[in-house]
Amino acid sequence: MTTASEPREPAIASKASAHARDADAWDAPGASFVAQVWAVARKDLLLEARSRERLVSMGTFAVLVAIVFAFAVDPAVRARSIGGAMVWVTVLFAGTLGMGRSWALEREAEALTGVLLAPIDPGALFLGKWMANMAVMLAVEALIFPVFALFFNLGFQGSIPALAAVVVLATAGFIALGTLFGAIAAHTRLGDTLIPILLLPLLAPVVIFASAATQRLLVGRPAGDVLSQLKMLGAFDLVFLFLCTALFGAVMEE
Angle separating helix axes 122-151 and 53-72, nearest 10 degrees: 40
Q: In this chain, which of 117, 155, 204, 224 binds another protein, going by CB under 8 A? A: 117
Tell me how far, at minimum, the Cβ of 25 lies from another protein, in Å.
Answer: 4
Contact 144, 90 (CB under 8 A): yes
Which C-beta is closer to another protein: that of 51 or that of 188? Answer: 51
Q: Which helix (H) or strand (E) holds 113?
A: helix 111-117
What Å distances lie between residue 50 and 28, 53, 84, 157, 212, CA to CA?
32, 9, 32, 37, 36
Q: What is the spatial distance between Cα 71 and Cα 30, in angstroms, rounded to a whole number?
A: 56
Residue from 1, 5, 72, 189 that binds another protein (CB under 8 A)? 5
189 near another protein, judged by CB under 8 A = no
Please identify, among the stretches 46-54, 142-150, 156-164, 230-238, the one whose residues bind another protein according to the rule CB under 8 A: 46-54
Q: In angstroms, what is the minimal distance from the CB of 51 to another protein?
A: 6
Which of the ranges 106-114, 172-180, 193-201, 219-227 carries the binding residues for another protein, by CB under 8 A? 106-114
Cβ–Cβ < 8 Å for 115, 245? no
Among 56, 67, 78, 114, binds another protein (CB under 8 A): 114
Q: Smallest distance from the beta carbon of 40 to another protein, in angstroms?
A: 8
Taking the C-alpha atoms of residue 19 and residue 39, their distance in angstroms, rounded to an integer, is 27
Q: How far is the CB of 49 from another protein (least distance, A)?
A: 10
SS (HEC) of 127-189:
HHHHHHHHHHHHHHHHHHHHHHHHHCCCCCCCCHHHHHHHHHHHHHHHHHHHHHHHHHHHCCC
| CA–CA distance, 80 with 217 (Å, rounded to integer) | 10
Task: Kindly state the number of chain residues that form the binding site for another protein, as judged by CB under 8 A.
Answer: 49
Residue 16 interacting with another protein (CB under 8 A): no
The answer to whether residue 50 forms part of the interface with another protein (CB under 8 A) is yes
Contact letters for another protein, residues 84-103 (x by CB under 8 A) = --------------------
Give the binding site for another protein (CB under 8 A): 2-8, 10-13, 15, 18-19, 21-22, 24-26, 28-32, 35-36, 38-39, 42-43, 46-47, 50-51, 105, 108-111, 113-120, 253-254
